[in-house]
Amino acid sequence: MHEMSLAEGIVQLVEDAVRADGCARVRAVWLEIGQLAAVEKESLRFCFDAVTRDTVVEGARLEIIETPGQGWCMKCEGNVAVTALYEACPVCGSYQIQVTGGDAMRVKELEVE
C-alpha cells in the first residue's frame, strides 16, 4: 500500500510549509490527484487520518480534486482524453499515446490558522 508513504510525504510537506509560515494549525488540505496517478483515494484518506495524529495537521479535512487524464496520440496528432494507462486512443484506436497530464499528485492549497 503506497498510499501510506504518500500520506506521510504530504504531511511532511504540509508541516514544513506551516513551520516556515509560523502557522499554528492546519484546517484543510486540498490535493490534486490525476486520474492516471494510480492512487486509491479512499486508502489515501484512511492513511492521511492515521499519519496526522499528534501533528499540526491532525483533524484537518482532506479535499481531493481529481484531474482528468490527457494524452497526445501520435497517429491522430492530437490531444485526447485518457481514462486509463495503456488504453487505445478513443479516436483512432492506436496505442501510441504519450500521457501529457493527469498522472501527478500535488498539494494545491492549505487552510491554516
Model confidence, pTM: 0.86
Q: Which of 1, 26, 104 is nearest to 13 (CA)?
A: 26
Can you give the residue range of the structural domain that contains 8?
Answer: 3-112
Whether the CB-CB separation of 61 and 29 falls below 8 Å is answered with yes
The Cα 39–Cα 46 span in angstroms is: 12
Mean pLDDT over each residue of the chain, to the nearest integer: 95
Domains held by the chain: number: 1
Query: What is the enclosing helix (H) or strand (E) of 44?
Result: helix 41-51
pLDDT tens for each residue of 42-77: 999 999 999 999 999 999 999 999 999 999 999 999
CATH number for the domain spanning 10: value is: 3.30.2320.80
